[in-house]
Structure 1
Amino acid sequence: MKQAIVARADVGMGKGKLAAQVAHASLSAYEDTPDRTRKEWKGGGQKKVVLKGESEQQLFELADKAEREGLPNAVVRDAGHTQLEPGTVTALAVGPGDEDAVDRVTGDLSLF
């Protein structure tokens, strides 16, 4: 079991902002995960990776792939209170889910 969070590297988020957006994405996708999968992922150590995203378009394309794989996913849009314009897409979480399925969606991306 694994969760992958894809954070945009092209919008110039500071480290704290990046961490917050990754956390929002992780929790949002987790909340949409079936109970059995949640328990298995939590019991297995909550494995997750943070990966580099290149654009808003890429995140939406990956979200579509996640949907086709049947994986929970969540796109995060920033509220615009600090560094970014309101509505800026900042991150995508894919999973938790079967590691092979998550890798079919995000396996070509680099670690952040």
Structure 2
Amino acid sequence: MPDNGDWIETCKAQDVGREDVKRWDHGDRSFAIFRTADDRYYVTDDICTHEYAHISDGFVEGTTVECPRHAGCFDFRTGEALNPPVCVNLRTFPAKVEDGLVYIRLADD
């Protein structure tokens, strides 16, 4: 996906619950959109780096998401892998909210 400096609209900000995650598909990719208790939004790839599982199906607590397949955890703000079996970080993407909509900016792979 080319990086042309544009932001892509994903969903309404209210569609993502506080301390929760929402899956968003774009082209052939899936993304996980997170909202913190203080209304900050973060976006990561939605596929776990350990084995194929949607991160958006995982359990969110604070700023951590637990993969539903093998319970590896990531800090969704940075994508950092926090405990085995995950050892490769999730890719993250810039996110912003304008006029009640969540936008992300994709960069070249």
TM, length-normalised to structure 1: 0.28
Name the one with the larger strand percent.
Answer: 2
